[in-house]
Amino acid sequence: MNCPMKVGGNREVLLDYAAGKLNAGARTELDLHMRNCLPCSEFAAGQQSVWRALDEFEPAPVSMDFDRRLYARIEQSVPWWTRWLRPLNPLLRHSVPIAAAAGVIVMAGLLLDRPVAAPVAPAPQSAQVESLQPEQLQSALDDIEMLRQFNQLVPDSAGAKM
C-alpha cells in the first residue's frame, strides 16, 4: 500500500484506523504497512492515545426540566390569535368546513343573483379592520393541536431521568 503519511497519501486512513472505522481488510493492510513504517506507526499510536483521552471528556448531566422549558418557549412563540382561539378549538374544528361551504354557497348566490354591476365606493381607510385569513386560521388550529399534544407529553418527559 502507499504510505498514508507521504505527500499525496490519504492521511485520513490513519484517523479512521485509530477511530476503529476501517474494515478488517484495510486494517490488516495498514497493520502490515506500519510494521515497516515508523512515521505511520508513531502517528497511529499518538492518535489512538488522543482518542482514548477524548473518551474521558464527559459531558455534564442535563437539567430535568429541559423539555418543560422548551415546550414553554414553544408555547410563547405561538401567535396571539392561536392562544386566543384555543378555547374555541373544538367548535372551530367542526364549524370551519361548514362555514366555508356556507360562504361559497352565499357567494355563488350573490354572483348569480346580481342584476347590474353598480359602481362600489371604496371603503374608507379608517373603516378597515384586520381580519384573519382562512390559511391563518387553519395554521392556528394546527398549532393548537400540536400544543395540545405537547401538553400531553410534558408530564411524561418531565419525570424521565436524563
Does the protein bind another protein through residue 39 (CB under 8 A)?
no
- Grid cell, residue 106, equals 352565499
Residue 95's contacts (CB-CB under 8 Å, 6 or more residues apart) are: none
Which region, left, alpha or beta, applies to residue 2 given φ > 0 means left and ψ of -120 to 50 means alpha? Answer: beta
Does the protein bind another protein through residue 81 (CB under 8 A)?
no
Does the protein bind another protein through residue 50 (CB under 8 A)?
yes
Does the protein bind another protein through residue 147 (CB under 8 A)?
yes
> Out of 1, 2, 6, 12, which residue is the one contacting another protein (CB under 8 A)?
12
| Residue 44, burial from CB neighbour count under 10 angstroms (0-12, 13-18, 19+) | buried
User: Whose grid coordinates read 464527559?
Assistant: 58
User: Whose grid coordinates read 471528556?
Assistant: 57
* CA geometry: angle 1, 17, 23, nearest 5 deg: 75
Does the protein bind another protein through residue 145 (CB under 8 A)?
yes
Cα separation, 31 vs 148, whole angstroms: 58
> Min. distance of Cβ 150 from another protein in angstroms?
5
Does the protein bind another protein through residue 94 (CB under 8 A)?
no
Does the protein bind another protein through residue 49 (CB under 8 A)?
yes
Does the protein bind another protein through residue 115 (CB under 8 A)?
no
Region of 70-78, 82-90, 92-100, 112-120 interacting with another protein (CB under 8 A): 70-78
Q: How many chain residues bind another protein (CB under 8 A)? A: 38
How many CB atoms are closer than 10 A to CB 71? 17
Does the protein bind another protein through residue 56 (CB under 8 A)?
yes
Does the protein bind another protein through residue 99 (CB under 8 A)?
no
The footprint of another protein (CB under 8 A) covers: 11-12, 15, 19, 45-47, 49-54, 56-63, 66-67, 69-70, 73-74, 77, 142, 145-150, 153, 157, 162
